[in-house]
């Protein structure tokens, strides 16, 4: 099981980096759309605020998950539970937007299916 937990953590970090890149691309797109006057200043500011909130949340989670050691967990479920605790705390106490939970949980399920061979 240690091998699967280690693989899960390594792949999840890659997926979180990918999520960060996706959000950064959205930020660039919002800037381009605003410059080309495809979206109003109000919509631009709202979108940018949302995207940066998501980005900060994912970056923070990445830093915490990077510190995880496979030996600390008995199973992939234990890792997912720990991440859920971090997400719940971040959204309720730090003010991060709840969409981070949805985005990260999708990544967790994607990696879990891959590692467990259920794809």
What pLDDT is stored for residue 93 in this prediction? Answer: 86
Q: Block means of pLDDT (10 residues each) for the chain, length 119 residues?
A: 92 97 97 96 96 93 96 95 93 86 93 87
Angle at 62 between CA 56 and CA 63, to 5 degrees: 95
Decide if 99 contacts 90 (C-beta within 8 A).
Answer: no
Instruction: Using CA atoms of 88, 93, 98, 101 in order, give the dihedral in degrees to the nearest 10.
Output: -30
What pLDDT is stored for residue 98 in this prediction? Answer: 87
List, in order, residues 6 or more apart from 28 with CB less than 8 Å away: none
- Global pTM reads 0.91
Distance from C-alpha of 48 to C-alpha of 114, rounded to nearest angstrom? 32
């Amino acid at each position: 099981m240690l091998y699967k937990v280690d693989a899960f953590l390594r792949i999840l970090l890659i997926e979180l980096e990918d999520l960060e890149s996706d959000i950064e691309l959205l930020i660039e797109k919002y800037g381009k759309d605003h410059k080309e006057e495809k979206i109003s200043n109000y919509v631009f500011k709202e979108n940018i605020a949302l995207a940066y909130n998501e980005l900060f949340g994912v970056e923070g989670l990445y830093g915490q998950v990077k510190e995880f050691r496979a030996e600390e967990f008995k199973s992939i479920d234990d890792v997912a539970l720990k991440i859920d605790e971090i997400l719940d705390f971040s959204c309720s106490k730090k003010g991060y937007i709840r969409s981070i939970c949805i985005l990260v949980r999708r990544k967790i399920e994607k990696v879990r299916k891959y590692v467990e061979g259920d794809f």
